[in-house]
Amino acid sequence: MMISRLISTLTLFQVFFLTGFGQTPCNTPGQNPTSAFPVCGTGTFIQSSVNLCGGRTLPNPVCSPSYDDRNPYYYKFTCFEAGTLGFLITPNAASSDYDWQIFDITGRNPNDIFTASGLTVSSNWSGNPGETGTNGTAAGQHECGGNTPNFSRWPNLVKGHEYLLMISHFSNNQAGYKLEFKGGTAIITDTAKPLMKELKAGCSGTQFYLKLGKPVKCASIATDGSDWEFVSSTIPISAATGVNCNGGFDTDSILITTAGQLPAGTFAIRSKKGSDGNTLLDFCDNALAEGQALVVNVLPPAPTSPDSIRKVGCKPVELELVMRDPILCNSIAADGSDFVITGPAPVLIASAAQANCSNNQVKVIRLLLRRPLTLGGTYTVSVKKGSDGNTLMNACNIETLAGESVSFTGYDSVLARIDVLVKSSCEADTITFSNPGSNGINLWRWTETGTSQTGITPFYRRVYNAPGEVYVDLTVSNGVCTDSGKAVVNLSNFRVKAAFEYPSFACPTDTIRFLDKSTGPVTSWKWNFGNGNQSTLQTPPEQFYSSNALLSRVPVELVVSSANGCSDTIIQIISVPNNCYIAIPNAFTPNGDGLNDFLYPLNAWKATDLVFKVYNRYGQLVWETTDWTRKWDGSTGGSKAPGGTFVWVLQYTEIDTGKRMVQKGTTILIR
């Protein structure tokens, strides 16, 4: 609540007192949502004084900033007939300022009011002292801090919903109030009578647990147990205690204690008026009828046996053992030595732990395995004495019998192995991808380049017309275990494809080697070297070439074949000059007659990193090239150069020796 709403009327001392308010925890019953006073609409609630505590923020969807539960008391009630809710809060001191907020907590934890703003139904945080509550003439459903009306319009309640009313005492004094529910049309008065619902016997035959159909006042329970009697036993009841009555006002569970042990057998317990002059009463004073009876079976103390193993997944490293009844948490040997597992494969237990132990009792035990269980079959978990000297013990301190057991089914792990079978023709390949389908696999999903096939067939088959790589993914499952795999097939390995390495030229003195680079299942080779020689070897003999012309283009052919009769042919062209001696002409005549029209390095077949430059008589560069096949036509700057002597410089590296060569000379341009 904002301090500013009352600052105009407070002394400086009072302002300091309010701003110094701390969040003292509330421990008194009724001052927390979980210990709220049960409400009967016909009653008037007198709170003679208020314990100072609280200060927890209460979200409010209308008022901002939110307020807090300062010195609060809580009241809980159920709507039995829908309608409007009217109530009046009358302070014991006229100067006291009381505020309130109503929450719909149906199906919720009462403490959710501190975090969920959507639970608020109606509220009034007026800064004015005096009476407050709801009525039919008020304008707003919510009134926020400041000089606002003390009354809010009565809210509409929904039948069957549960509500919580918080009353906050902002004034920080201990003066109390009176709360009355009046006006409105909703019915919050319960007319149903309490009923005995269930009776269970404890371990020793001296304690019995009674479950009621609705909560009753803790104060209506006769502590000497005289609200009941056994019909067929002379052993008297000596005490009765409401569960959680120490911190609350009502309960629906009662512990009944007898003065002696009842033997094994069937007994009936009957309700009656107790020494306090009544049977059990709910908060609307509806009484448990006299003469109601419940039958209970008292069994001899018995050990607790294993019940089941929770669902086992694929490759489990942990098993959850469920006991038929709770056992003591501290009776479980942490090293797992209370258990042994037998089955198709050895299974070793690394440790054991309780799951959600409460009040030293638990029904589920987690068994951690040393390694995952991967072999399918039926396994048995048996109980034995552990390293702590006992088996498992129940709440009656009775040990589970050694040898008690429970079985479960383990599942095989699966493997997405892909076997590949290729049947190749000369123009197409049929590939069959298959999975062995072992370990109960019943689902295969094949995926390839965006297409998929799902079914119960363990193979995937396709015909491919073009060479290249094929990628296929497989996911397999036996309903529990799943695995994935991939296969890559290079069709180039199944179709023959002719290829070989060769030099681009062959000088008269060169030894020429041809290197087969064919792919696929080649079984035969047929070479025709274009120089009159042939070979059927994969690695043919060295070859020699010569030419009577300045340059000849010689075809070299390779035909490769496979065992199934498929073949492929490739022809490559080799340039064969009549010589490879590098020379520069001493004269040239660029007159277009086709004879000696250009200046360039002749026969530079074995030169790399070549640079050829031509200069005029004045030392000016008139031509330059790094490609020996480019030729100077005697022009410069777009005009014909005059006849005369030109100087040239030739630099290159010999391919055979790696030696860097530099040559200089002159050439006459004849016009």
Please tell me the least confidently modeled range out of 64-73, 153-162, 374-383, 470-479: 64-73
What is the average per-residue pLDDT within 99-110?
96
Is pLDDT at 454 greater than 90 in this prediction? Answer: no
Higher local confidence (pLDDT), 46 or 426 = 46
Mean per-residue pLDDT for 186-200? Answer: 93
Residue 73 to residue 176: CA distance in whole angstroms: 11
Q: What is the mean pLDDT of the chain?
A: 91
pLDDT higher than 70, residue 228: yes
- Which residues are within 8 A (CB) of 511 and not within 5 positions of it... i.e. 6 or more apart? 542, 543, 544
For residue 279, give every residue at least 6 positions away whose Cβ sits within 8 Å of its Cβ, in sequence order, or none. 220, 227, 271, 272, 273, 287, 288, 289, 290
Q: In the prediction, which pLDDT does 133 show?
A: 97
Q: What is the pTM of this model?
A: 0.51
Per-residue model confidence (pLDDT) at position 6: 31
Cα–Cα dist 123/121, whole Å:
7
Which H/E stretch holds residue 18? Answer: helix 12-19
61 phi, psi to nearest 5 deg: -70, -15
Q: What was the pLDDT predicted at 271?
A: 96
Give the DSSP letter of residue 193: P
pLDDT tens figures, 606-630: 999 999 999 999 999 999 999 999 9
Set out the domains of the chain in order of their start, with CATH numbers.
Answer: 3-184 (2.60.120.380), 196-298 (2.60.40.1220), 306-410 (2.60.40.1220), 419-493 (2.60.40.10), 500-577 (2.60.40.10), 587-669 (2.60.40)
* pLDDT of 637 above 90: no
Q: What is the 3-state secondary structure (H, E, C) of 241-265?
A: EECCCCCCCEEEEEEEEECCCCCCE
Summarize pLDDT for 314-362 with one digit per residue, the tens.
999 999 999 999 999 999 999 999 999 999 999 999 999 998 888 899 9
Coil, strand, or helix at residue 154?
A: coil
Omega of the bond prior to 65 within 30 degrees of 0, cis?
yes
Confidence of residue 576 (pLDDT cuts 50, 70, 90): very high
As beta bridge partners, residue 349 has 369
